[in-house]
Chains A and B, each alone.
Chain A
């Protein structure tokens, strides 16, 4: 590599750009420096999350009420190694620091968090940050751990070298935060004296940063702590040739099992609670269009989405424990070989697995994938995994149309085989789509798989709790905006003209109007209405079909299963479940994809692609089943 002038230095006067009172403070630091924990400490529960305009990077900000400076705003910048603008994260950080990011206030001061366990390397980020010339406080995080492991550093010497104050803190324990308050109180006074001139390395050259950082760490007598024996010992088991995959499978199945066996009953109980609450309010409102709109339309629709909240939170609790403990990186390492075969990397494994419960938390969990193309590919294939909302319609159709012939003794019958093949079908669709995406629009960029293995840590209840609150808030906000709008539109379509039954409403007419289109799949207009109404959420179709067949005089006296058998062929029934295996019938997922990709382009593409695939696959199923059975 070209490296001609590593020893040259330039001088930059550290004059603050904004004199006078400060209002906004930026929190900067490399990934894994404990920056988020510190952010949570400093802002408490009153923080806001939003996407920066035009990019997928999340913006966290809040008032500094954790240290009694509620008048100041703290912006948490994405974790970065350098201000080199190759990555989207770094580009956002640079733009915010220079006050060029629309919608973000211009920072007047910087808190630079460095992990004191790896100070020498982390100091490389200090050079470009100090060059900005903003009032800066350097925070040596995890200093308690460093000292117990025999590391040391002369903070006074470091402050002299850097020309800015330095403080030792521990974000997890909350020690040393007084220094931040003191620094901010002091900087709130108008600045008088000119700061000393500072020697900084050549900008943008990692080698010169490195030499600069090494020089400083030598002069400040930095002694790196001994790396924890614990981590090494645990890794020899958790990454062992035989024990590694074994533990991995136990953890993965354990999480899956708990989310299903504990999460599903909680979701059901929550659903009953929501319905009960809706009915009580309905009684108060009396009968009329207002009650119908609010209870049947808005409340039922929103609660159909809210019932996923317990499962989502449970899943996030596990993902949070895995991530905070340091195991998630190991799981990514173990899964990488397998995931690579389909063009994704190891970090996509946990999100894809989560999608068997629900695509929404799975898509939110793709944040751990830094490579944007890999992340988008993962987001786009996630909804193919068989989520729990598909189970009601699968179970209904299988119970109605498939005889339970034993195939392998009493344990494995034909019904189970059909159910299993639907799971496999979704998985194969995800595989094929991932390959397709990675060889076309999301062709691999040059960004390789570089995985930092952090030391094992015991997750704190505080950070897990804040994470759940944060994710829960994001989901409910979605349910409260995008989903609410869709609900209202659908309610209006299914209630105009007034006092008409569903078949006579606009949506009923649309259902009958699209019948010619869906006839080749073996569907009738009732199924058509079911498909339209289940755009909200997949499980809604069961309720809709129940209503439609319940009001039809021909099938009124039959059970729903018998009515379906009376109305559909085996080909049509199987085509319907195959349609549901592929189609994107989920407003929550669309809303989350929009949020995570920060554009309507991706959810629109995903919806179109999955709908076409579902149509073609259902058509093929109907033709094949009708011919051979």
Chain B
């Protein structure tokens, strides 16, 4: 169980959101997209240019740039990693 930024999550791995450190309005938007503390997030794939990254959260796929994802801290769920 290690704490890290969502942007560091490897493709195919899942993690649980710990918290968001972003301006209020951005945080609200992201939370409504499913990036809520305790929500499970999986890094699905990176765009061909390497950024943004597509994350599966709450049955939906959402792409975030590295500059945004680095402010979302997550705990990697190691037992889930396959």
Contact = CB atoms under 8 A, between A and B. Distances in A.
Interface string A121-149: 10010000000000000000000000000
Given A448-B67, A450-B68, A453-B62, A245 B28 contact: no
Given A117-B59, A118-B60, A333-B54, A450 B49 contact: no
Tell me what chain B mostly uses at the interface: helix, strand, loop, or mixed: mixed
Contacts of A207: 31, 36-37
Given A87-B25, A210-B36, A336-B49, 14 more contacts: A1-B19, A86-B24, A121-B60, A227-B59, A239-B48, A241-B48, A242-B48, A244-B47, A329-B63, A333-B52, A340-B65, A448-B67, A450-B33, A452-B33
B8 interface: no
B48 A206 contact: no
A76 B68 CA distance: 32
A449 B36 contact: no
B78 interface: no
Contacts of B52: 333, 336, 449, 451
Contacts of A338: 49
B32 A81 contact: yes
A211 to B, nearest CB: 10
Given A207-B36, A239-B48, A449-B52, A333 B28 contact: no
B65 A449 contact: yes
Interface string B58-77: 11111111011000000000
B62 A337 contact: no
Contacts, number: 111
B80 to A, nearest CB: 17
B26 interface: yes
A393 interface: no
Given A207-B36, A452-B62, A446 B23 contact: yes
A3 B20 CA distance: 12
A235 interface: yes
Given A1-B19, A333-B63, A206 B28 contact: yes
B9 interface: no
B30 interface: yes
Interface residues of B, number: 35
B63 A453 contact: yes
A336 B62 contact: no
A366 interface: no
Contact of A453 (B20, B30, B48, B54): B54
Contact of B32 (A82, A236, A337): A82
B82 interface: no
Given A334-B48, A449-B52, A210 B60 contact: no
A224 interface: yes
A86 B63 contact: no
23 contacts: A81-B33, A84-B28, A86-B25, A86-B29, A118-B60, A121-B32, A121-B34, A121-B60, A206-B32, A210-B31, A224-B59, A227-B59, A236-B45, A245-B48, A333-B54, A334-B47, A336-B49, A336-B65, A446-B22, A448-B64, A449-B52, A451-B62, A452-B33
B65 A448 contact: yes
Contact of B28 (A82, A227, A239, A448): A82
